[in-house]
Each structure stands twice: as structure tokens, then as C-alpha cells.
Structure 1
Amino acid sequence: MFMSGIMKPSGRDEIEKPSLRSIIIRGIKRKRYFIGLVVLPSLLTATYYYFVASDQYESTADYVVRRADAPQKSSGGAAALLGFGAPTGASADPYIVSDYLLSHDAVKSLRRDDNLVGRFRRTSIDFISALKSDDPSPEKLLKYYRDQVGVEQNLESGISQIKVRAFTPQDSYHIADKLLKMGEERVNQINERTTRGQLSSAQHNLANAEAELANIQRKITLFRQKGGDINPTGSGKAQIELVSQLTASLASARARLNSLQGFISPSSPQYRAVAAQVSALQRQVDLQNARLAGAGNNIAVGLGTYEDLIVRQDFAAKRYAAAAAVLDEAKAQALRQQIYLVRVVDPNMPVKSLYPERGRIVITVFFSLLIAYAVGWLMLAGVREHKM
């Protein structure tokens, strides 16, 4: 029996304590947007990167590209030790190699000669990181390749660095080493094309000058053989001296003959001897003058032809010497303009995987989603408050 005015509460009115399960369910319902937009994506990201994503190994290699005649400024580091200071002005030479290493040509060569597709489609690679097709289009393969391979330029030191990420240490090392070799081959090809382009005109002019000189030399030889005289110029001078001597002798003989005419009879033996000498000398002078400058094939005509050939030979020799000098200068200029690729650091064989950077990625994803959720929540709260 209860006291008057006091009633015993019924069982239905007793307050029941909530269970842990119901508390969790209510908490989930209350935080469902936060869980769905922030927690679950972060958990999925962490699950993929820590339990599914394949390890990636990075191999690096450093090199320097410079031109032989490029003005240099002092710089520290390995480039200075090797004598490859940084250029004083902007140079496109390093970008020639880096652009090639990230081009369709490089990918095509690696695909053909080094099984590039197979290296990125190994069975041990997770389905998200692996190359998606056994026979990808050149564009898709290039895009995937550029995600795995990079070339960085250090403008201060002039050193370029190749970075290659692959799914085995051997693959990353092999690709990096192959890229360095391909860069060296491309530099050699550029130098060869540049040299060939610069020298072709000079070599052509030299060949023409050489052919012309040889042709004139051949004509001079034929002329000497035909005339039976190895030195027509000397022979002509000797002939002129002979005519001069004979003419002087003839004049002396005539003078003696004229002096005898007033003292002895023309029929005397002495007079006839001097007269015969004058006649003989006159015939010799006429004969030698005919050989020197008479009609037909005379010494004067032959000597004129020979001297013309000598003049042409001298001109051809000077032209040949000038063409040879131009060629030598072109070679020197081509050497000064050649570019060189020098290895500073050879590719390394990685031991520990550096990628993917799991912790950084998961934290970045979580805080990015958290910030986005907070901004959205504040915007929604502001809208609700405005409506009230």
C-alpha cells in the first residue's frame, strides 16, 4: 500500500537506456554527409595506396649539354669541375635534348627496341597504375610515358636531370641509361647534319676548283708532249736570244763587208769570204725569224698558247687555294658550333621504392576533402540562416 498521493510509475513509462549500437547508428546518421564525403573517400584512398598500389622505383641521371664556342660563366658544382660552366645567355641546346627525350621519336624508339609497353604492363603492376592496353596508340603511350619520365633543367648550373619511374629497379635503370644513350646519339646526328650542311657548299666549290686545275694541268702536259718541249717559255727565250745573236753577228759582218768595199776588189778572196758570211748569216736570221714569228705553227703562236695555259693554271691554283681555305674555315666553324652531351652522373640502380608517396597522398586527400566539406557546410548554414 502506497502513501496517499504517491503513485508507482508503470513499466512503459520507465526511461530505457540506449544501446551502443543505436548510439553508433544515430551518430552515423547525424554525420552521414561527413562520413560519405570525407571519411569513406579517404579510407578508400588509403586502402588503394597501402594495399593495392604497386611500388615504383626512380632512377636519375645528370648530364650537361653545351656548345663548343658558347661563352661560359663561373658556376659551382660538378659542371664547373668538368669545365662546363653555365652559359652566360639563354641557350636552347639543353632543350634540344630534353624535348627529344620526351617526344614521339624517343617513345617510338623505346617501344621498338626496348619493349617499353611490356615494361609498363607487367603482371605485378596494379590495374590502375599499369598501362591499359597491349597495343596503345602513340598518343596514349606518350601521355603515359610522360607521367613516368621527366627531364628537369637547372638554369643556374646548366645541368639537366633525367628522372625515370618504373615498377622494377631494373626497368627504371635500363630506361634511364637508354635515354642517355639516345640523347648522345641525337646530339651526334645533329652535329653530323650541321657539319654536312655547312661543308657541302665549300666541298663542292673545292671539287670544282680541283677539277678545273687538273684539267688545265692535263692540257699543259699534252701541249708539252705535242711540241716535244718540256719548257716552251724557256725555249722561246732561247730562240729570241739566238735571233738577237745572229742579228748582231749579221750587222758586224755587214759592217766589215762595207769597210772592205773601199779598199779591196769585190772579186778578191777576202771580200768574197766576208760576203759569203753575210749571206749565210742572213739566211740564218731569216730562218730563225720564220721559226719565231713566221706564218703557220711558229714559236710565237705556241708560246702564246702555252702562256695562256700557264695564266689559267695560276688562276686555277689560286682558286683552289682559296676554296681549300674556305673549306678549312668551314670545318673550324662547324667544330666551334658543335654541341656536346657529357654525363655528369650515371643512372643509379634504385634499391628502395620512393613512389607512390602514400602518406602524403592520403593526408592531402583527407584535408582537401575536409576543407571542401567545411566550405560546403558553411555555405549551406549561411543559406539556411538567410531563409530563417
Structure 2
Amino acid sequence: MVDFVRRAQAVTREAAAIAGTRPRALTEGLSRLLGSVNIWFWAIVGLPTLIAGVYFFAIASDLYSSEVKFIVRGPNKAPTSAISAMLSSSGAAGGSEDTYAVLDYITSRDAARRLEREVDLRALLSRPEGDLITRFPGIWFWRHDFEALYSSYQRFIAVERDSNSSVSTLAVKAYRPEDAHRIARALLEFSEQLVNQLNERSRRDLVGAFQREVEETEQQIGKIQTQLTTYRIQQKMLDPKSAATGPLELLAQMTAQQTNARAQLAELTRNSPNSPQIPLIQTRIASLDKLINEQRTKITGDSDSVATALTEYERLDVQKLLAEKTLASALVSLESAKLEAQKQQLYLETIAQPNLADYPLYPKRAISFATVVVSCLLAYGIAWLLIASVREHASA
């Protein structure tokens, strides 16, 4: 590089010395200057710079940009430790994973496929205004598959998130301003739908188990109620508990009568052993004994007794009571789960709607061309230094 500069200065001084005398001499000086530049400079700097200049200033198509700003708000999660609190307060803890989920979706193949179906992404990226390099399918003109479309799609969108404000920015480029606006609007709608799907999935995960418990308990209560109805029909009793009260009261009355009769018999036997009422009372006592035994058999017998009927009914009634308490507890848990799911809701708030550009902001022709020139000069300088170092070591 130093050798090149020295030779250029020498030729320039010589050209300036003869510039006032003969134009032909000036032309010869310029020719000598160009000839003094070696072929590697033209290969590393000259040719790439020429190609970049032709492309950026003569071929590259104008690109319009539509920008969207949004923020994904979720539940406030309390820090679990003092260190976490310090990190979150200083902004070093990063952002919400839900925001990154939305940004990853925007750049995903699913979003590209949906754009292809709903807004005809292929047509938007292959507009005739586009140059051969950037438009779809570009220089790979023989590839029209989805992967080629997805590769082109990634060049036309950019998403980033500000870790300080948590605001996400989506920038969409297209050959027409209405195309960029259309894609940005569609991606914003897809993002909102994704957030709603995440909310629905979270709600199902939180509420689903309690909802199933409520449904199962309601079904169990329904089955028990059916069994109770069937049992009432079989026993021909509307309420076995009330039906059991009658035999018990009748037994109590007959027992009381039997006690009174035995008391009368004992008194007559003691005071009037030959009284004609004694056989009548004895007959009455025998009848009462028989009736009491029959009534006790009805109440506590083996098969069709009141006790058997009441035991089965009480078993079903207790099952129903327990199921109703379980249902009440499940309903309380379900309401708590719904409240918790509501607290866990995500919200996508749009800060800036997609704009309709009136001037092409891309490509940055001067900046891009200058970047190419500087990069090539740096590459040439590094190569020249390496070669000079090798020559110096070889001569030594």
C-alpha cells in the first residue's frame, strides 16, 4: 500500500509539472499512474467497487418500508430472590419469553406459509419492479419451492426488541408501499391470533382438570339420582325414611298397649284371681305379642324389611350427599382456576400501526457503496501487508 502511494505521488507530481505545457503529456501521466497499479488492486478493490457501483446506482430496485411497533404484556412475575430483583430492576434480566415467542413466529416458516395462502406472498416478492438479485426467485430462477420463498421472505422482514422499553419493532420491505403495508398488517394480525391461542392453551391447561372434575362429579350425581328413583319405584316408597316412621310408631304403640295389658293382668291376678276378665286380658296379651313379633319382623327382617330398604336408601343418599359436597368443592376450585387463568392472560398492544410509505428508504445506495469500497481497501491493505511480510522474511 505504501509503495502504491509513493508511486502515485511521483506520477502525480510529474503530471502536474507537464500539465501546463502539453495535454498529451498529462494523458501519458495518467496512463502511467493506472499502469503502475498492480493487477491485485484491480481484483480486490477495483472490480468489486465497479460491480457495487453499477448495482447500487443502476440496477438495485427501490424498496418501501412499513413499520409496526407493539408490546406483549403478560402477568407480572414477582422476583424469587434478591438477585433476581436486582437484575429485573436494572434491565439485565431480559424480556418476556412470550415476546420472543411472537418474534420467532413472525420469522418462522408457519408465518411465511400463511402469508403465501392469504396474501399471495409469492406475487408480492416477485413484482416486475424488483431487480434480478433481490426479487423472488432472483438469480436462482429455477427454484420456485417453498424453501426458496422462505429465504427471500427473511430478507424482506426484520424484527427486533428493545430490552429497555420491551417494545418490539417489525419492519417489512417491499417493492410497492401497499405491499409492505399489506404484509405488515397481516403479520400483526397473525401475532394477535398467536397471543390469543397461547391464552386459550394456558386457560385449558389451568381450567381443564377442574372442569373435568366438575363434569365427572355431575355425572356421578346423576347416576346416584337415577338409582334413587329406580329404588323408590321398586319399593313403592317416595321417601323410605318417612315410610319407616309408621311401622316404628305402630310398634311403639303396641308395645305400650302390651305393657298396660300385662300391668292389668298382674293387678287382677293379685286382687281378683277368679275374675272373668283375666282370660280376656291374657288373650289380648297373646294377640299383642303376635302382632309385635310380626311388626318387628317387618322392620328388622332379612329380605323385605323396613331396615333393609332403609339401609339401601341411606347408602345411596349418603353417596349423593358426598358427591354434592365434592361438586361444591370442585366448583370453587374451578372458579379459582378461571381467575388465575385470567390473571395469566397475555395482551398484544399495538403502539404504532403499519404505515404506508411515500418514499423508498432502501437500499441505502451511498452507504452500501461506501461500505463495499472501505471493505475492499481494508482487504487489499491486509493482503499487501501479509505479502510484504512474507517477502521480507524470505529475503532475510
Q: C-alpha separation between the residues in 1 aligned to 2:271 and 2:188?
A: 112
Structure 1's 20 and 222: CA in aligned 2 closer, same or farther, altered over 3 A?
Answer: same
Question: Equivalent residues in 2 for 1:298-377 (5 A)?
Answer: 298-377=305-384
Contact 1:68–1:335, Cα closer than 8 Å, also in 2: no
3-state SS of 1:262 partner: helix
Q: C-alpha separation between the residues in 2 aligned to 1:114 and 1:266?
A: 119
Between 157-166 and 190-199, the greater mean CA deviation after superposition: 190-199
Aligned length: 359
TM-superposed deviation, 1:190: 2.7
Paired AA for residue 364 in structure 1: T
The gaps in structure 2 that reach 5 residues or longer are: 1-20, 80-90
Q: C-alpha separation between the residues in 2 aligned to 1:45 and 1:362?
A: 6
Structure 1 residues 229-256: Cα deviation after superposition (integer angstroms, max 9, x where no partner) = 2221233234323312321222022202
Structure 1's 146 and 342: CA in aligned 2 closer, same or farther, altered over 3 A?
Answer: same
Question: Equivalent residues in 2 for 1:74-89 (5 A)?
Answer: none
Paired AA for residue 29 in structure 1: G
TM-superposed deviation, 1:39: 4.7
The gaps in structure 1 that reach 5 residues or longer are: 1-15, 73-85
Contact 2:268–2:275, Cα closer than 8 Å, also in 1: no
Q: Paired residue for 2:119?
A: 114
Say yes or no: does 1:23 pair with 2:43: no
Say yes or no: does 1:249 pair with 2:257: yes
Alignment partner of 2:221 out of 208, 213, 227: 213
Question: Equivalent residues in 2 for 1:240-279 (5 A)?
Answer: 240-264=248-272, 266-268=274-276, 271=278, 274-275=281-282, 277-279=284-286
Q: C-alpha separation between the residues in 2 aligned to 1:107 and 1:233?
A: 70
Q: C-alpha separation between the residues in 2 aligned to 1:134 and 1:207?
A: 58
Contact 1:68–1:340, Cα closer than 8 Å, also in 2: no
Query: Which entry has the higher C-alpha Rg, 1 or 2?
Result: 1
Q: Paired residue for 1:79?
A: none
Contact 1:260–1:271, Cα closer than 8 Å, also in 2: yes
Q: C-alpha separation between the residues in 2 aligned to 1:302 and 1:172?
A: 79
Contact 2:247–2:295, Cα closer than 8 Å, also in 1: yes
Between 361-370 and 176-185, the greater mean CA deviation after superposition: 361-370
TM-superposed deviation, 1:199: 3.9
Between 160-169 and 241-250, the greater mean CA deviation after superposition: 241-250
3-state SS of 1:233 partner: helix
Structure 1 residues 140-176: Cα deviation after superposition (integer angstroms, max 9, x where no partner) = 3222222211111122222211111111111111111
Paired AA for residue 255 in structure 1: A
Alignment partner of 1:224 out of 232, 248, 259: 232
Question: Equivalent residues in 2 for 1:26-45 (5 A)?
Answer: 26-31=32-37, 33=39, 34=41, 37-39=44-46, 41-45=48-52
Note the aligned Cα RMSD (angstroms).
Answer: 3.0
Structure 1 residues 259-311: Cα deviation after superposition (integer angstroms, max 9, x where no partner) = 1223336553x556645554554344233223212354111111111111112
Contact 1:121–1:134, Cα closer than 8 Å, also in 2: no
Between 324-333 and 31-40, the greater mean CA deviation after superposition: 31-40
Q: Paired residue for 1:204?
A: 212
Structure 1 residues 24-64: Cα deviation after superposition (integer angstroms, max 9, x where no partner) = 32232124655665355434423321222111111111122
Question: Equivalent residues in 2 for 1:282-301 (5 A)?
Answer: 282-301=289-308
Between 378-387 and 26-35, the greater mean CA deviation after superposition: 378-387
TM-superposed deviation, 1:209: 2.1
Paired AA for residue 312 in structure 1: Q
Q: Paired residue for 2:183?
A: 175
Q: Paired residue for 2:170?
A: 162
Alignment partner of 2:241 out of 229, 233, 251: 233
Percent identity, aligned pairs only, is 31
Paired AA for residue 241 in structure 1: E
Alignment partner of 1:139 out of 128, 134, 147: 147
Contact 1:100–1:106, Cα closer than 8 Å, also in 2: yes
3-state SS of 1:125 partner: coil
Q: C-alpha separation between the residues in 2 aligned to 1:373 and 1:127?
A: 29
Q: Give the number of the structure whose residues are more often helix, by fraction.
A: 2
Question: Equivalent residues in 2 for 1:99-110 (5 A)?
Answer: 99-110=104-115
Structure 1's 383 and 279: CA in aligned 2 closer, same or farther, altered over 3 A?
Answer: closer
Contact 2:302–2:308, Cα closer than 8 Å, also in 1: no
Paired AA for residue 55 in structure 2: Y
Structure 1's 366 and 292: CA in aligned 2 closer, same or farther, altered over 3 A?
Answer: same
Contact 2:44–2:379, Cα closer than 8 Å, also in 1: no
Normalised by the size of structure 2, how large is the TM-score? 0.80
Between 216-225 and 172-181, the greater mean CA deviation after superposition: 216-225
Between 340-349 and 159-168, the greater mean CA deviation after superposition: 340-349
Contact 1:59–1:176, Cα closer than 8 Å, also in 2: yes
